[in-house]
Amino acid sequence: MIQGVQLDLISEERLARLTSMEKIRLILDEVMAGNIVVLEKGLSPEESSRLIEMTMMEISPDGFAGIEMETYPARSQGGGILSRLFGNKESPSRLTVIGPANQLKMLRKERDLISAWVSSR
Amino acid sequence: MDILTKARKRLSRFLRVFFKKKRSRIGIYGPPNAGKTTLANRIVRDWTGDALGPVSEIPHETRRARRKEDVTISNGDGDSIVIDIVDTPGVTTKIDYHEFTEYGIEKEDAVKRAREATEGVAEAMHWLREDIDGVIYMLDATLDPFAQVNIMMVGIIESRNLPVVIVANKIDLPDASPARIKSAFPQHPVIAISGLEGKNVDELYNKMIEFFG
């Protein structure tokens, strides 16, 4: 049998149909199964926060060691007078790749380039 | 500081006084081994003579959030703030107990440390969501600031509209590059310090008074 890694690219439209918890569960289930997930549109800050928490709950000795996740830095926001008065608005999230921490390694990351290496289990 | 920022701060100060808001809780956040507890200890020692927690070269030495209440920070101009300092466990998306055995820790203790560390990260995130009014985000200035956890955490902090001061720590080390951190987060003030040697911490105290007051 050919050895390989499953790669799931999830469209923005499909993500938009999911609730936050469904998104997080989908990501964790895929990654815990050893798959790499690429989201066309990344998670919101609130979803990222929940993902970190839920990832911590799933970590086990000699089992799941957590996730490696990469996305581009947010584009800088101009912001008008109102947004400056009332604080920063949420930045649009961008293409994001997520995989098991022991299989996905970042090689190089810049503002506009992510280079990663994936190994099979 | 521009006029709008000043106006926003004055309004927030007025509302705080008017509604008798509680003291601000300032969380020290950042990835593991950025020097959070070293800075927390320095702040608490400088202004109360006390200490907050042990430090170690082994990651995840701090596995529970620790709070020091009523820390008064002042400067030579007569400005001051009273805050609670919250030292938090380092935030990460992965924890493997093998990382700790490489430091000579026995497997049983390493597994326990890893379990406590996962709980600590979740606790830190919970504090940020519920109980923190401002953030000092610590970065090791010798490392790449574009690490995903930093991008995520700064995004989370911004989405909550919390005032944040970014600290480029470990400038006593030859590879330190605070300029790289400034270019990574141009939207926030960045103060370069050595928490270990105390270099430039007065500038950080002034910025804390300005931002968290």
Q: Which two tokens stand for residue B77?
A: 């101009």
Asked if the structure places residue B65 within a domain, the reply is: yes
**B44, B51 Cβ separation under 8 angstroms:** yes
A28 touches chain B (CB under 8 A): no
Cα separation of the two ends of chain A: 14
| Beta-carbon separation of A59 and B128 below 8 A | no
Q: Where are the domains of chain A?
A: 7-118
Residues of chain B numbered 59-88 and touching chain A (CB < 8 Å): none
Contacts of B171 (CB under 8 A, 6+ apart): B141, B178, B192, B193, B194, B199, B200
CB contacts, 8 Å: B156 with chain A: 45-46, 48-49
Q: What is the pTM of this model?
A: 0.85
Domain that holds residue B151: 19-212
The H or E element that residue B99 is part of is: helix B98-101
What does the pLDDT look like over A11-70, one tens digit per residue? 999 999 999 999 999 999 999 999 999 999 989 999 999 999 999 999 999 899 999 998
B183 touches chain A (CB under 8 A): no
Q: What is the predicted pLDDT for the residue at A76? A: 57
Question: Is residue A81 predicted with pLDDT exceeding 60?
Answer: no
**B85, B48 Cβ separation under 8 angstroms:** no
* Domain count of the fold of chain B: 1
Stronger pLDDT, A87 or A112, i.e. the higher one: A112
Q: What is the predicted pLDDT for the residue at B156? A: 94
At residue A84 the predicted structure's pLDDT band, cuts being 50, 70 and 90, is: very low
Q: What is the predicted pLDDT for the residue at A106? A: 81
Highest mean pLDDT: which range of A89-98, A104-113, B58-67: B58-67
Angle between helices B148-159 and A45-58 (to 10 degrees): 130
Q: What is the predicted pLDDT for the residue at B14? A: 64
Residues of chain B with pLDDT under 70: 1-2, 4-6, 8-22
Question: Is residue A87 predicted with pLDDT exceeding 60?
Answer: no
Asked if the structure places residue B3 within a domain, the reply is: no
CA atoms B35, B81, B130, A75: torsion sign:
negative
Separation between Cα atoms, residue A67 and residue A70, nearest integer Å: 10
Q: Which residues pair with A70 in a beta bridge?
A: A97
A55 touches chain B (CB under 8 A): yes
Asked if the structure places residue B5 within a domain, the reply is: no
| Predicted ipTM of the assembly | 0.81
Q: Which residues pair with A68 in a beta bridge?
A: A99
A34 touches chain B (CB under 8 A): no
Asked if the structure places residue B201 within a domain, the reply is: yes
Asked if the structure places residue B6 within a domain, the reply is: no
The Cα of A3 is separated from the nearest Cα of chain B by a number of Å equal to 25
CATH number at residue B65: 3.40.50.300
Q: Which of A48, A76, A109 sits opposite B156 (nearest CB)?
A: A48
At residue A79 the predicted structure's pLDDT band, cuts being 50, 70 and 90, is: very low
Separation between Cα atoms, residue B126 and residue A38, nearest integer Å: 27
Q: Which of A44, A61, A69 sits opposite B93 (nearest CB)?
A: A69
